[in-house]
Amino acid sequence: MEFDPRRTLLLYAGSSHPELANEVGKHLGVDLSNVEIQHFADGEIYARFLTSVRGADVFVLQTHSRPVNENIVETLIMIDALKRASARRITAVLPYFPYSRQDKKHLAREPISAKLMADLFNAAGANRVMSVDLHAGQIQGFFDVPFDHLTALPLLVEAVREDVGSDVVVVAPDAGEVKDAEKFRRKLGPEAGLAIAHKRRDPRVHDAVDTLGIVGDVAGRVCVLVDDSISTGGTLAAAAESLVANGASKVYAAATHAVLSGGATERLQESPLSKVIVTNSLPIPPEKGFPKLAVVSVGHIIADAIRAVFEDESVSGLFDGDN
């Protein structure tokens, strides 16, 4: 790949997911630039860039897996160091945006933590932010800088089509996912149907759900549950049980972010789900893997978006406006 010789693209990786960063660099045709990241004895983080970044277009790739808060601070420190070193433009590439599920208040005296995250990245000096499949699109409005919202939808649709074809029922696991489920159904084709799992969640009990019923005809059909992320797996497992109880012949799940916290691995493996398709937006350690899990890579879509930003081209054009 050839770039304008008058401009420089530098790609840096935080500590959370070097495998994805290396894959993105390979798609771009650039090597990861060198950054020294250390921890002091008391746990404080130190970052220093080992070559000049003056006047460069810099992309910092860091996804926010565990330890979440440590990875957030590391990203902020890297951005601050780049700002003070006179980088021309700093783009924070955050495949999984931290605290994205706390995008609004459910109860009195709660924080809106996703807005706080946006304020921190703004304050650190990010000139642009890029992320994949936000939990809520409104998070883009929390930023005072351009935000590129990428989507893994085409990758997941293609994986489902290759596995079970297009004659399926796409199921939203709750009302909040109906819009994305409809996009998924439309991408699959006219033979695909749509259904909704009616879910009740107690806002005082985190990561616990009750699925009460299915709206739509799923009897005798292959069903695909579509969600933005899988945390404990409770939502998908409960929805899969309801779908089977309503006559579904098989149930698959497709989600962008494999958080897989708590007992998610065991819960999903023991559920009626035949297969769980996710992306590598988050690192999946070997102990979190299970036989039903299939992983597709978002490396090339992130690389394409970085290339478009660097060359001042359209990012939404990469996704036909579905982002």
The residues assigned a catalytic role are 199
As a whole number of angstroms, the distance between CA 232 and CA 142 comes to 27
Q: Are residues 168 and 223 in contact, defined by beta-carbon separation less than 8 angstroms?
A: yes
Q: Read off the DSSP letter of residue 319.
A: G
As a whole number of angstroms, the distance between CA 224 and CA 24 comes to 29
Provide CB contacts within 8 A for 203, sequence distance 6+: 106, 107
| 127-138 burial: b if 16+ Cβ within 10 Å, else e | bbbbbbbbbbee
Q: Are residues 230 and 260 in contact, defined by beta-carbon separation less than 8 angstroms?
A: yes
Peptide bond into 283 cis (omega under 30): no
The Cα-based distances of 293 to 50, 203, 217, 229 in angstroms read 39, 29, 27, 14
Give the DSSP letter string of 234-294.
HHHHHHHHHHHHTT-SEEEEEEEEE---TTHHHHHHHSS-SEEEEESSS---GGG--TTEE
Residue 107 structure tokens: 């109860």
**C-alpha torsion angle, residues 122, 124, 127, 133 (rounded to 10):** -60
